Amino acid sequence: MRIMTTTANTAEVTFEAAWNEWHGERERYYRDPLGWVSLTGLYWLTDEFETVADLPGRWRADADAAYVQGIDGTDRLEPAEGAPGLLVDAGDRRIEVIRRTGSVALRVHDPKSPHLKAYNGIPAYAPRERWRVVGTFTPYVQPRIVTTGAVVEGLEHHHNAVGVIDFELAGAAAQLVAFGGSSTGLRVMFTDATSGVTTYPGGRSLSIDAPDADGTVTLDFNRTSNLPCAFTDYATCPVAPAENRLAVAVEAGEKNPR
């Protein structure tokens, strides 16, 4: 028997294959033996030299840098505010030195982490075309800074907001504040009616290609992703801004992995 295929069938297969490739890459990223799931601790430094947990050396920090005694080839590190940390080898482990809201902390990546051993991947909703929608990006006259809290009490994150995206989702009009640069691509962080139920309560993130000349963008909520804090207690991720709360249940993208 000959099975007939249609353009619609082919498009659906292509759509699902592309999503599977994206999801597979996300799975590989979080299975990195020295990645986010391998974290075993987050330790904030003071201005006095002290030992930190079972880590080598003695550590302290001030407004300018972090300092360590007793690790060959390393005595001063200058992590940038909000940026990925600077890495120091410690046998099989890596010590990541980060600066957040002016304070310095050490994160420990361990390939033997029990969290990594117990990691079962990223649960996700099955991809559906209905969650892929077209919107309109309207840039601000001037970018503005949006400040949000973080999953760690007392920390703040400052985001470069460049405009808003208007769209319709599940039959309702919606709007999200977008971060990034309109020429290089946009990013939104949001919560919705699934947050704290089936998805991570602090919010999820969605990357969006740069707008067309007329402001048209495509939001594929099937590719809504967790931030690292959904996987570990030792991340310092932002929470979604209050204005990016969607009333609908976005049953698309990644679910809460814990």
What does each of the 258 residues of the chain score in pLDDT, given as a tens digit?
444 444 445 566 799 999 999 999 999 999 999 999 999 999 999 999 999 999 999 999 999 999 999 998 789 999 999 999 999 999 999 999 999 999 999 999 999 999 999 999 999 999 999 999 999 999 999 999 999 999 999 999 999 999 999 999 989 999 999 999 756 799 999 999 999 999 999 999 999 999 999 999 999 999 999 999 999 999 999 999 999 999 999 999 999 999
Cβ–Cβ < 8 Å for 170, 207: no
What was the pLDDT predicted at 216?
97
Copy the structure tokens of residue 229. Answer: 């804090």
Copy the structure tokens of residue 250. Answer: 């976005």
pTM: 0.90
Q: Where are the beta strands (DSSP E) in the chain?
A: 39-44, 58-61, 66-71, 74-77, 86-90, 93-100, 103-109, 132-149, 156-169, 172-181, 185-190, 204-208, 216-220, 225-226
- Alpha carbons 163 and 27: distance in angstroms, whole number: 31
What was the pLDDT predicted at 11?
62
- Alpha carbons 188 and 176: distance in angstroms, whole number: 7
What was the pLDDT predicted at 1?
45
Copy the structure tokens of residue 212. Answer: 């067309």
What was the pLDDT predicted at 48?
97
Cβ–Cβ < 8 Å for 39, 30: no
- Alpha carbons 252 and 221: distance in angstroms, whole number: 6
